[in-house]
């Protein structure tokens, strides 16, 4: 089982579990339990609605970049529209990935992965110049013990640094770039100008380079020696057997060139050299022998290359969580889940705290609570949920009031000392209900 080394903001429990945990905490009286459940229900529905808008933005703008698209726009986008659509997809995707509490993968790790081998003994090369865009995020930097199969029945236990989840978005340059490189467009494993998105689990940190669609693999020096030394060993006896025919063929060529004194040094009978048939037989025998040897070695090389490709394919196939359009949908759900869990935790602890809390105190309280309740150490992202609570504004209407005279108030406000204060449950329900009823006023906002 993977053991986390560094704290992250990700909360490894469902919204339902977090709400249940809050209800079982014993801080809410019986009347407030139902109110808190209602508040959470409307909050979740509202954020689902808002994140759905983000998905629609991505879907509408991803069409010209989707390598698996089955539909085409009625009117192809202009160059300006094309660039704007690309930017909208990239910005929206980066935003939801961060909302899902994923972390940007440092460029230094990519470079290190290219220079170092982990589980798969292959030499790899990724040309980053092929990309117009590159976004890579991860979650869960941990260590995992695995068993590696060695010779026969011998297995070796190895501790590997892995990313529990990793997502990659790349936008390839247009076809003209690859034609300028003299690449055969038909032989490329990707479509120029398209945007590819990959989502994987449990990828060794030093094998991250293998998830790139344009990765090129080759044998290491160790594999080349293991391949080359047997080939040399097989070539030596073959050359010894074919040496008479080889000398006869060389002598015939020298005779044609009228270099007779070199023919004598080869110790070859002149009668055989002057006779066409022995020379022809020698040439054919030599061609068949060397040609057969070359074909055998080439076939061995191709088989070894196919074996390497199978290792890479098998490794990634069982770790793949999604590709292209499906990844957007998955991360919308992940982002929605994380956003709601953070807001619920922040609101609950401000609501039940006997004293006013500053953001730092609230952050520490939630982290300690999660550790005590679930044994989970997290680095809670306090600024996100506080900003969301502050941005959710609505009216709290009394029986005798009209909506025209009631100002909108936020779920969260700060006092002069910087402490956080949230509305009580009745007012909070009224505000979130007001926001939900007026949801279409927020049409077009990307979370």
User: By the 8 A CB rule, do 324 and 197 touch?
Assistant: yes
User: By the 8 A CB rule, do 38 and 344 touch?
Assistant: no
**Which class for 285: exposed (0-12), middle (13-18), buried (19 or more C-beta within 10 A)?**
middle
At 280, list the tokens.
């022809």
How far is it, in rounded angstroms, from Cα 15 to Cα 265?
90
* Residue that has been written with the tokens 């992202």 in this structure: 381
How far is it, in rounded angstroms, from Cα 171 to Cα 194?
6
Pick from 91, 358, 107: nearest CA to 350: 358
What was the pLDDT predicted at 276?
A: 45
Kindly report each contact of residues 1-5 with a partner whose C-beta sits within 8 Å and lies 24 or more positions away, as own/partner: 1/144, 2/140, 2/142, 2/143, 2/144, 2/162, 2/164, 2/202, 3/142, 3/143, 4/140, 4/141, 4/142, 4/377, 5/141, 5/142, 5/143
List strand residue ranges (DSSP E) for 150-205, in order: 155-172, 195-204
229 confidence band (pLDDT: 50, 70, 90): low
User: By the 8 A CB rule, do 131 and 173 touch?
Assistant: yes
For the stretch 123-181, pLDDT in tens is 678 888 999 999 999 998 888 776 666 655 666 677 778 889 999 999 999 999 999 98
How far is it, in rounded angstroms, from Cα 358 to Cα 414?
9
How far is it, in rounded angstroms, from Cα 302 to Cα 286?
24
Cα dist from 330 to 4, 334, 371, 435, whole Å? 23, 6, 28, 26
* pTM of the full structure: 0.74
Domain residue limits, the chain: 3-55+327-442, 103-216, 222-308
For the stretch 286-334, pLDDT in tens is 555 555 556 565 566 566 666 666 666 666 778 889 999 899 999 999 9
How far is it, in rounded angstroms, from Cα 124 to Cα 215?
7
How far is it, in rounded angstroms, from Cα 302 to Cα 308?
10
What 3-state class would DSSP assign to 343? helix
Question: Mean pLDDT throughout 223-240?
Answer: 54
What was the pLDDT predicted at 76?
A: 85
DSSP 133: E
1 confidence band (pLDDT: 50, 70, 90): very low
Any bridge partners for residue 169, and if so which? 135, 197
For the stretch 84-137, pLDDT in tens is 999 999 999 999 999 999 999 988 887 777 776 655 566 678 888 999 999 999
For the stretch 386-434, pLDDT in tens is 999 999 998 887 765 666 677 889 999 999 999 999 999 999 999 988 8
How far is it, in rounded angstroms, from Cα 95 to Cα 119?
32
Polymer length of the chain: 447
If one compares 47 and 223, the residue with the highest pLDDT of the two is 47
Pairing of strands 393-394, 409-410: antiparallel
At 53, list the tokens.
């808008």
**DSSP secondary structure of 64-95:** GG-TT-----SSPPPHHHHHHHHHHHHHHHHH
Please say if the pLDDT value at position 53 is more than 60: yes
Neighbours of 360 (CB within 10 A): 10
């Amino acid at each position: 089982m993977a053991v986390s080394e560094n704290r992250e903001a990700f909360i490894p429990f469902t919204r339902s579990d977090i709400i249940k945990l809050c209800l079982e905490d014993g801080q809410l009286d019986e009347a407030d339990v139902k109110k808190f459940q209602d508040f959470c229900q409307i909050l979740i529905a509202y954020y689902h609605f808002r994140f759905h808008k983000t998905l629609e933005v991505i879907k509408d703008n991803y069409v010209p970049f989707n390598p698996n698209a089955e539909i085409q726009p009625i009117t192809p986008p202009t160059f300006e529209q094309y660039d704007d659509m690309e930017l909208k997809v990239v910005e929206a995707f980066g935003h939801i990935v961060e909302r899902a509490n994923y972390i940007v993968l440092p460029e230094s790790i990519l470079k290190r992965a290219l220079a170092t081998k982990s589980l798969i003994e292959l030499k790899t090369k990724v040309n980053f110049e092929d990309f117009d865009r590159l976004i890579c995020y991860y979650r869960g930097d941990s260590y995992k013990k695995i068993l590696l199969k060695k010779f026969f029945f011998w297995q070796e236990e190895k501790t590997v640094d892995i990313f529990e989840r990793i997502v990659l978005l790349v936008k390839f340059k247009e076809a003209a770039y690859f034609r300028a490189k003299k690449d055969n467009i038909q032989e490329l494993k990707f479509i120029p100008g398209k945007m590819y998105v990959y989502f994987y689990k449990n990828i060794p940190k030093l094998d991250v380079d293998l998830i790139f669609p344009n990765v090129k693999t080759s044998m290491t020096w160790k594999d080349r020696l293991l391949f080359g030394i047997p080939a040399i060993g097989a070539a030596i006896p073959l050359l010894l057997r074919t040496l008479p025919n080889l000398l006869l063929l060389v002598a015939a060529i020298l005779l044609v060139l009228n270099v007779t004194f070199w023919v004598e040094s080869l110790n070859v009978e002149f009668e055989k050299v002057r006779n066409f048939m022995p020379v022809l037989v020698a040439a054919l025998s030599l061609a068949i022998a060397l040609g057969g040897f070359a074909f055998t070695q080439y076939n061995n090389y191709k088989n070894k290359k196919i074996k390497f490709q199978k290792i890479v394919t098998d490794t990634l196939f069982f770790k793949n969580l999604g590709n292209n359009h499906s990844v957007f949908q998955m991360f919308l759900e992940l982002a929605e889940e994380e956003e709601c869990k953070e807001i619920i935790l922040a609101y609950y602890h401000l609501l039940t705290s006997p004293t006013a809390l500053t953001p730092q105190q609230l952050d520490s309280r939630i982290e300690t609570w999660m550790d005590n309740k679930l044994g989970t150490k997290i680095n809670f992202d306090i600024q996100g949920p506080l900003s969301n609570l502050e941005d959710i504004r609505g009216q709290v209407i009394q029986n005798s009031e009209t909506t025209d005279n009631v100002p909108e108030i936020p779920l969260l406000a700060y006092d002069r000392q910087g402490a956080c204060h949230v509305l009580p449950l009745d007012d909070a329900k009224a505000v979130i209900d007001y926001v939900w009823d007026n949801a279409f006023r927020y049409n077009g906002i990307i979370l």
